[in-house]
Structure 1
Amino acid sequence: MTLTLTPHKLSGSVTPPPSKSQSHRYLIAAALAGAGSVIHNLADSQDIQATRHCMSALLDAGKAWWPLFEVPKDMPPEELKACQARQERALQATGGDLPLLFCGESGSTLRFLIPVALALRGGARFWGEGRLMERPQKPYFDLFEEKGVYYRQRENILGVRGVLAPGEYRLPGDVSSQFITGLLYALPLLEDDSKIMLTTDLESRNYVDMTLEALAAFGVKADWLEDRALVVPGGQTYRPAEVAIEADWSQAGFWYAANGLGNEVDIKNMNPRSTQGDRRAAAYYEKLCQSGTVDLDVSQCPDLVPELAVHAALRAGQTTHIVNAARLRMKESDRLAAVREELCKLGARVTEGPDSLTIQGVDALTGGRVDSHNDHRIAMMLAVAATRCSGPVTLTGAESVRKSYPNFWEDYTALGGRTAREEDV
């Protein structure tokens, strides 16, 4: 979908969507607990739909607990039919007796569920789209070679088969916390105790703490033994619970950025004490509103980079350094390159380093034609940028927001954003 965005000031109140990170975590724990859980305010983005359907395939009787959720609605019939057709084609192509799990483009779904599938079913075949299967899985592959677990990847299908045994699991902490989370869900299901030992310092620790919080809500114990070690007792059972998902701080960051560009958006219903690492959006917004050079370390909150970058782009005469962002190279797009490329099309001054962006603030942005790179966060960044452009912005791939914020364009227009499909302009 291509939208033409006409510059116009945003104003009014908005509540960001439910946290995608919490939604994944509570959804998996609820599924492992069986019937009886209630999740309020569960996200219904494409990534969460992927986790729902994967857990259903793993548990066979998964549909028994779907109706217990206040939200989400079932996938639209035409989308469900298309998904089933793709699954059937993949089944015919790959064969085998392991469940086939369609992960879409969700890295969390894939990495969280690889160990869970081994613990529950002795393995699975994971099928992804877009750039998903290009994302590195080496921490798991290294563990599998050590533990005797078979794995094989052919293009967009990854198969794993074997026994997940209790014991010590050593993996790096500076690649992605998602590998740690996957083990934290699976290891409590094993007979004996396990440890997760990190061989490097952990980045995005808040995401691990969010996982521990979700486990505790469903009656499962796991905890830090020291900075680089987690202890996970075995023989545990997930228990049904009633929980509520918080509003998403990573999405709130786009509305903070809009305010940094002179808009007047009142961001509602945020939890300032949340375990979401992206709650740094508020503090980093305050830093960017100050004069002078600003250095932002995003090692603990890499998803905030697009919104931080668009805010920084209009800090006229001021310099912003965004550092420790190398992991953004392997998101839905090469997000560092995409941020630089698209903002520069609008007249921003952005220099890209191997793991960083340096942004020299300008007075104003121009209009023009830009692309989302099929990346939801790039699309939302450009929508915010359009509010301060001197001419219309034509955005291709605007539908990519469905991955994490399905109602983004509705919220944007309710706040005064002016959008039109290109063919209607």
Structure 2
Amino acid sequence: MDLQITPKKLSGTVTPPPSKSQAHRLAIAAVLSNGISTVRGVAMSQDVEATLRCLTALGGRWRETAPGVLEITGTGGRRTGADLPLLDCGESGSTLRFFIPIALAATGGGVFTGRGRLMERPQGPYFDLFREKGIFFEQKDGVLTVRGRLTPREYRLAGNVSSQFFTGLLFALPLLEGDSVLIPTTRLESVGYINMTREAMALAGVHTQWREGSTLFIPGNQRYQPLEAAVEADWSQAAFWYAAQGLGNAVTIAGLNPKSIQGDRVMASFAEMLRGEPLHGGVTAPIWGPASAAPARPDRQIPARPGWSTPCVGSVSLPLTHCPDLAPPLAAWGALLNGDLYLKDAGRLRIKESDRLATITAALRALGADVTEEPERLIIIGKPSLPGGTVDCAGDHRIAMMAAIAATGCTGPVTLLGAECVKKSYPDFWEVYQSLGGEIHVL
């Protein structure tokens, strides 16, 4: 589906959709239990549907008893049957990486398929472990087969590729007969997502411990218990509406938990920085420590900029170490910021649904923005407005939403190619956009 957006300012109140990251984790904890669980507030995005398919493949059952309310019948972490289950992960990297160790623990392996770039995304940390522990794996023609059994012991894997590898093992290792330890061999990134996993597990009565900084101790012989939980509103999707506010749209964001464990809650503090405001204390303080002011490039001094409706914030550098999904909304804001924005520690964005450093750059440049792509960061020089243009969404839901928010600061129409990709995480995004006054035409 291709769309054309006629630039208009947005206004109204918006409640972000439920967190798919939290929904994945609660559904998995529920299916590993020996009983019936209830998870409320689930948005049926394509990624969540992939997780529900996989829990069914492992012998679990689910039904929607009311809109957004799932009743999930668990397996106790075991599956009967001699054949390896077939797990269709769609385009969900979380689903694939979460279920690989779970399938090994529950049934001795599985056959995994996917669509888009999913089966091209790196699984190196798992493969290194499998070689070490004698677990069979084969990746061929877009299909990954794993076969073997996890054993309780020490597991070492890189912490700077994706926290999803840690989450998969965290879910699986408590089911083993002995204790295990997870040790990152590099700096551990996206810690908030790991804590979200631990929180979901704790709701099901399964506990882990941080030891010596970034080492995780996982006691064995634990059993998941049925749970009742509700999914919070998603801070990573709320970030797009924060960016809309920064671009002068009168949008009010409702329904967020200001004390959420979600790492992307740091967007509230990033927004204060980009508005040139002092950071508040309490729940709006940065989760991962303060961002830093970046020195202006030698050839780039920032004088007063007459004609801007917002104060000049100078050069601001924001670390994405623990919140890579914030890059697209921050980039949309930066393209129209009265200042320079450096998005750093962003190398992992290259292994998302698209190479997001490249696709963010291409999309914003297509709209007339000043963006420089480097191996691990983006440099964005703000402009008072952008002329508009045609953006290839590259099959990436966050690129489509980024372009839609940037369109509110454009002077000419914005055409989006492949705009249906928002269904991956925010199925009603375009309906919400129109409800706030956005003008959209299907081409």
TM-score between the two structures when normalised by the length of structure 1: 0.91
Provide the residue aligned with 2:53 in structure 1.
53
Deviations 1:343-363 (A, max 9, x none): 011110000000100011111
| 8 Å Cα contact 1:199/1:228 also seen in 2 | no
1:347 aligns with 2:344: no
In 2, the alpha carbon distance for the partners of 1:398 and 1:272 equals 30
In 2, the alpha carbon distance for the partners of 1:231 and 1:106 equals 27
Q: 1:1-400 residue pairs with structure 2 within 5 A?
A: 1-59=1-59, 62-63=60-61, 65-67=62-64, 71=68, 97-290=83-276, 291-316=313-338, 318-400=339-421
Shift of the alpha carbon at 1:391?
1.1
Secondary structure in structure 1 of the residue aligned to 2:89: strand
Deviations 1:224-244 (A, max 9, x none): 112121111111111011101
Shift of the alpha carbon at 1:133?
1.1
Shift of the alpha carbon at 1:97?
2.9
Shift of the alpha carbon at 1:66?
2.7
Structure 2 residue identity aligned to 1:356: R
| 8 Å Cα contact 1:131/1:333 also seen in 2 | yes
Secondary structure in structure 1 of the residue aligned to 2:187: coil
Shift of the alpha carbon at 1:341?
0.7
In 2, the alpha carbon distance for the partners of 1:277 and 1:378 equals 20
Shift of the alpha carbon at 1:69?
7.0
Provide the residue aligned with 1:412 in structure 2.
433
Deviations 1:50-83 (A, max 9, x none): 0001010012xx22x4345752689xxxxxxxxx
| 8 Å Cα contact 2:38/2:69 also seen in 1 | no
Structure 1: gaps spanning 5 or more residues: 75-95
Structure 2 residue identity aligned to 1:15: T
In 2, the alpha carbon distance for the partners of 1:321 and 1:67 equals 44
| 8 Å Cα contact 1:38/1:69 also seen in 2 | no
In 1, the alpha carbon distance for the partners of 2:70 and 2:34 equals 19
Shift of the alpha carbon at 1:265?
0.6
| 8 Å Cα contact 2:332/2:405 also seen in 1 | yes
**Identity percentage over the alignment?**
57
Structure 2 residue identity aligned to 1:129: R
| 8 Å Cα contact 2:5/2:407 also seen in 1 | yes
In 2, the alpha carbon distance for the partners of 1:250 and 1:67 equals 25
Structure with more helix by fraction: 1
Deviations 1:360-401 (A, max 9, x none): 111111121111110000000001011111111111111000
In 1, the alpha carbon distance for the partners of 2:262 and 2:141 equals 33
Shift of the alpha carbon at 1:141?
0.4
Secondary structure in structure 2 of the residue aligned to 1:23: helix
Structure 2: gaps spanning 5 or more residues: 72-81, 277-312
Q: How many residues align?
A: 397
Quickly say closer, same or farther: Cα 1:120–1:73, change in 2 above 3 A. Answer: closer
In 1, the alpha carbon distance for the partners of 2:340 and 2:170 equals 40
Quickly say closer, same or farther: Cα 1:73–1:5, change in 2 above 3 A. Answer: farther
Deviations 1:237-270 (A, max 9, x none): 1101110100000000000001111101100011
Task: Give the aligned CA root-mean-square deviation in angstroms.
Answer: 1.4
Structure 2 residue identity aligned to 1:71: G
In 1, the alpha carbon distance for the partners of 2:118 and 2:240 equals 24
Structure 1 residue identity aligned to 2:408: T
Deviations 1:297-323 (A, max 9, x none): 01110000000001011113x111110
Shift of the alpha carbon at 1:190?
0.7
